[in-house]
Amino acid sequence: MSSDWTQCAITPAVNHEGFASLGVAVYRASTIPFENAQAYATRRERGSEGYSYGLYGTPTTRTLERKITALEQGRRTLLAPSGQGAITAVMLATLHAGDQVLLPDTVYPPVRDFADRDLVRLGVQVDYYDPLDPADLVRRMGARPRLVWVESPGSTTMEVQDLPRIAALAHERGAVVGCDNTWATPLNFKPLAHGADIVVEGLTKYFCGHSDVMMGSITVADNALGDALRAFLGRLGVGVSADDAALVLRGLETMALRLAYNARVAASLIDAVRAQPEVARVLYPTLADSPGHAVFRRDFQGASGVFSVVFTPQAAPHVAAALDALRIFVIGASWGGTRSLVAPMPVRAHRTVRAWEGDDMVLRISVGIEDEADLAKDLQGFFQALRDRMARHAGA
């Protein structure tokens, strides 16, 4: 019999027969043991679905990948440490020096920063196009368009893009099409079914649903592209924690319920917000005057709980200070969790194709799962504080 020290280190085999759980087990591993030397020597023959080292997946992460793949109607999903990490991984894996990437002018600001600083440094040609004008995309295509990126709705200002049209134009020139679908989730929009080759989700947000995990996903329509991305992530040494994957799996189980509630309450709050004299405009794809509304009605199955508010020139300078009156809404980045959030977002500095018309500060609001009446009352308090500040300023 082995010594106590050895017995402490070795885990005995336990019979799993007859055991089942509705929850997904958390399989943590770096080292994966092999039954013999031959199995270890031929481990690469196990293929992309086999297990050889924890970095390349465990049953927990594979379960999340398969669940997302089914929702996206794709062929394969890969996980990244964040939504931004998923986007940058796609770009680094697909672009070479001399290639061109075309980004919508409304792209997520950290993606713009990455493109302008890092892709340019690597010799990639970076160009921005009008998200609402597919013809502008064609005009800006150079000799080697490799990747056309779509973010629909656009970051902060909510422009909905005509993905089927953009994908057709990009494919005519041999370019790959990627789409950031974090606002809608696959419950409300399926980019792969509308022509995209790659769809990225910020799992940090609606999928996780509790504001305590950072993760992103990459789902592809082609297995060869999936294999190339998997190999690239492996070379970078990029993986995700099984514990984090389990938390996302848990959040995913309630995502449909949360999204439905978020959208219903957002619509109710928007009606009240639009009635405020301090509000110039609300940006939300379900509204007839929101950019790309017709495309939204044609292609999307529903909305999320994130919308943006543009204030009048008289009110805008006082919005940031008035936010301190909020008691339920939290001032913070991200969205999709249980708590409702507000975030003042600058816009003008992140536009180079079409100048932003309106105040530079746009207030992004994300609806959580708090009581609808409580949220409405909290916004009333904010608007009262805003009016009070405007009055004091006028009387000064």
End-to-end CA distance of the chain: 88
Q: Output helix, strand, coil percentages for the chain, rounded to the nearest 5.
A: 45, 15, 40
Predicted local distance difference test score (pLDDT) of residue 396: 63
Handedness of CA 198, 199, 202, 203 (dihedral sign): negative
Cα–Cα distance for residue pair 30/20, rounded to 1 Å: 25
List alpha helices for the chain, DSSP H.
4-9, 37-41, 59-72, 83-94, 109-114, 120-121, 134-140, 163-172, 185-188, 223-236, 242-252, 255-274, 293-299, 319-322, 372-395
228: exposed, middle or buried (C-beta count within 10 Å: 0-12, 13-18, 19+)?
Answer: middle
Predicted local distance difference test score (pLDDT) of residue 355: 87
Measured CA distances, 256 to 251, 252, 277, 369 (Å): 10, 8, 34, 13
Cα–Cα distance for residue pair 227/394, rounded to 1 Å: 62
| Longest CA span, the chain | 88
> What is the DSSP code string of 176-245?
EEEEE-TTTHHHH--GGGGT-SEEEEETTTTTT-SS----EEEEES-HHHHHHHHHHHHHHT----HHHH
Cα–Cα distance for residue pair 289/292, rounded to 1 Å: 9
Predicted local distance difference test score (pLDDT) of residue 330: 97
Q: Which tokens sit at 33?
A: 């043991």
Cα–Cα distance for residue pair 254/187, rounded to 1 Å: 12
Average pLDDT, consecutive stretches of 10 residues, N- to C-terminus, the chain (396 residues): 86 89 90 88 83 90 97 98 98 98 97 98 98 97 97 96 98 98 98 98 98 98 95 95 97 98 98 98 97 98 98 96 98 96 95 89 97 98 97 80
Instruction: Tell me which DSSP letter residue 51 carries.
Output: -
Measured CA distances, 102 to 82, 148, 177, 183 (Å): 22, 5, 10, 20
Q: Which tokens sit at 179?
A: 């789409």
Closest by CA position to 166, among listed 150, 182, 181, 155: 150
β-bridge pairing 279-283 and 306-311: antiparallel
- Neighbouring C-beta atoms of residue 345, cutoff 10 Å: 17
Closest by CA position to 265, among listed 149, 382, 369, 363: 369
What DSSP element (H or E) covers 36?
A: none
Q: Angle at which helices 372-395 and 255-274 pack, to 10 degrees?
A: 30
Are 238 and 90 a contacting pair, CB within 8 Å? no
